[in-house]
Amino acid sequence: MPDNKRLNQRILDRIMHDESFRKIREAAKTDKENLPKYVHQVRNSFELSPYWDGIISWLLTYDGLVKSLPLTGGMIDSKQDPVTKRVYYSIPVYPETTDENIKSSAKLIRKRYKERGENIDLRKSNAKKTEAEFMALSLYEAGKNYEEIAGVLNSEFDETYIATEIPTLIHKALQKSLRQEKLS
């Protein structure tokens, strides 16, 4: 993203010096309930992406002199998964988004997950998958068919397995056991 910070500053300057923006700004100050309508008008007039929503809202309601961009970080969207009810965060990337925006937003997202105790420990999930693979192997060696193995794994683990996945699980367990034999 080549020097978007300077480009964004030029866009801000263009907006602030535009007569039509000043008229919209005056209307927005007297009609604050319809602020989203005025934000839409400005975005439409200047052909701006949703990146500018928060900045324009602030510009329309701020009374002081604006010399530089009021927001320096990127945006973060949050959505709640209807199944698990867990909140997930994402970083919308627009043409104006800078690398710095993405890095600062990613840092904030990790902090939010950590504050809520929702860190995803990849080692833990890999350990469970490995356990399922070795269980599939031992069940296969005990003479169970793929359907039966899938049924046992589904009752033992949170993940859902189907019969066509079982050969892959068995193969991975065999590969891991061969690696362990070579190490010892």
| DSSP β-bridge partners for residue 80 | 87
The residue among 182 and 111 whose pLDDT is bigger is 111
For residue 65, pLDDT over 70 is answered with no
- Four-residue CA torsion sign, 102, 108, 113, 119: positive
Position 183 scores a pLDDT of 46
Of 70, 68, 61, nearest to 24 by C-alpha is: 61
Position 119 scores a pLDDT of 67
Structure tokens, 131: 């356990």
3-state secondary structure of 17: coil
Position 101 scores a pLDDT of 79
Q: How many angstroms separate the CA atoms of 166 and 162, rounded? A: 7
- DSSP tally for the chain: helices H, then strands E: 8, 2
Q: Which of 16-20, 56-60, 67-71, 86-90 has the highest mean pLDDT?
A: 16-20
Domain boundaries, the chain: 4-61, 77-115, 122-183
Q: What is the pLDDT of residues 99-109, one digit of tens each?
A: 887 888 888 88
Q: What is the pLDDT of residues 137-168, one digit of tens each?
A: 999 999 999 999 999 999 998 888 999 999 99
Position 100 scores a pLDDT of 80
Position of tokens 């990613």?
106
Q: What is the pLDDT of residues 123-134, one digit of tens each?
A: 555 778 889 999
Percent of the chain with pLDDT over 90: 33
Position 120 scores a pLDDT of 60
Position 95 scores a pLDDT of 79
Give the pLDDT band (50/70/90) at residue 59.
Answer: confident
Of 166, 134, 164, 133, nearest to 149 by C-alpha is: 166
Of 37, 49, 118, nearest to 78 by C-alpha is: 118
CA gyration radius for the chain? 27
Using alpha carbons, list the distances in angstroms from residue 177 to 18, 40, 42, 129. 70, 60, 63, 14
- Asked whether the beta carbons of 132 and 111 are under 8 A apart, the reply is no
